[in-house]
């Protein structure tokens, strides 16, 4: 790994500050693994088990995996000759209430964030569909210095343009970034702090911003950036 790359380790002890939501996230991660195994069994062996297909569909629905949901709808119909979504709508009428589910515009942030890998049209899509854009950070494991700079610029631009996409597992990613910044004070971590401050401005969380500013000033002995 080059000096400009930052490997985000989500497994080593102390890599993420203790959080009461960790047990919930762990359960979600375990569920994702189980659902992947279930999907593999159903799709590869073409098993006609309606309950299992519905369980998988509800999981995809809950996690905004619209493309996967559409895929298993086709596969289920080819195996059984019936519509999976129609059956769910009939059984869960109170949830669906006869309304069409809006498919989010999904931006999957890559496993390694680089400047080139970050999409350039997030703000534009967010301006046209302000309530229907989702940024998914769940796969991120590594980020390089240019990626940090572009991500900080993205959060800053989103805040300036008042575009508020939904975020998935961004808090986990940000917590790991801060942990890295605080443990590597002798190295050049300014780009990491730029992301942290830009993120809190994007979230309009002044209290969290000021907590980070105090921590920054304590670690480096210099004045932190201001909220404005």
Q: Are 1 and 141 in contact (CB under 8 A)?
A: no
Question: What's the pLDDT at 91?
Answer: 59
pLDDT at 206: 94
Looking at residue 51, its pLDDT comes to 87
Tell me, what's the pLDDT at 99? Answer: 46
Model confidence pLDDT, tens digit, residues 182-191: 887 666 688 9
Task: Quote the pLDDT of residue 95.
Answer: 55
Low-confidence ranges of the chain (pLDDT < 50): 3, 98-101
Look at residue 98 in the predicted model and tell me its pLDDT.
Answer: 44
* pLDDT of amino acid 104: 72
3-class SS shares of the chain: helix, strand, coil, % to 5: 55, 10, 35
Backbone angles phi, psi at 180, to 5 degrees: -65, -40
Residue 202 burial (C-beta neighbours within 10 Å; 0-12, 13-18, 19+): buried
Q: What are the structural domain ranges in the chain?
A: 20-101, 104-228
- What confidence tens digit (pLDDT) does each residue in 35-47 have? 889 988 888 888 8
* Separation of alpha carbons 122 and 137, rounded Å: 14
Count other Cβ atoms within 10 Å, centred on residue 153. Answer: 15
What's the pTM? 0.58
């Amino acid at each position: 790994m080059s000096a400009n790359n930052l490997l985000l380790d989500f497994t080593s002890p102390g890599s993420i500050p203790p959080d009461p939501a960790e047990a919930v996230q762990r359960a979600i991660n375990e569920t994702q693994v189980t659902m992947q195994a279930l999907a593999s069994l159903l799709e590869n062996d073409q098993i006609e088990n309606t309950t299992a297909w519905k369980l998988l569909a509800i999981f995809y629905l809950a996690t905004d995996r619209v493309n996967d949901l559409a895929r298993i709808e086709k596969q289920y119909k080819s195996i059984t000759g019936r519509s999976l979504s129609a059956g769910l709508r009939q059984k869960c009428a109170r949830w669906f209430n006869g309304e069409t589910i809006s498919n989010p515009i999904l931006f999957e942030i890559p496993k390694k964030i680089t400047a080139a890998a970050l999409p350039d049209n997030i703000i534009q899509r967010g301006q046209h569909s302000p309530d229907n854009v989702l940024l998914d950070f769940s796969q991120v494991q590594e980020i390089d210095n240019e990626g940090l700079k572009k991500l900080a610029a993205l959060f800053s631009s989103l805040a300036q343009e008042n575009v508020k996409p939904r975020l998935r597992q961004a808090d986990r990613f940000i917590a790991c970034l801060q942990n890295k910044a605080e443990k590597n004070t002798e190295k050049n971590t300014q780009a990491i702090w730029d992301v942290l401050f830009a993120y809190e401005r994007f979230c309009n969380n002044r209290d969290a911003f000021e907590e980070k500013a105090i921590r920054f000033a304590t670690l480096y002995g210099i004045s932190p950036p201001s909220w404005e």
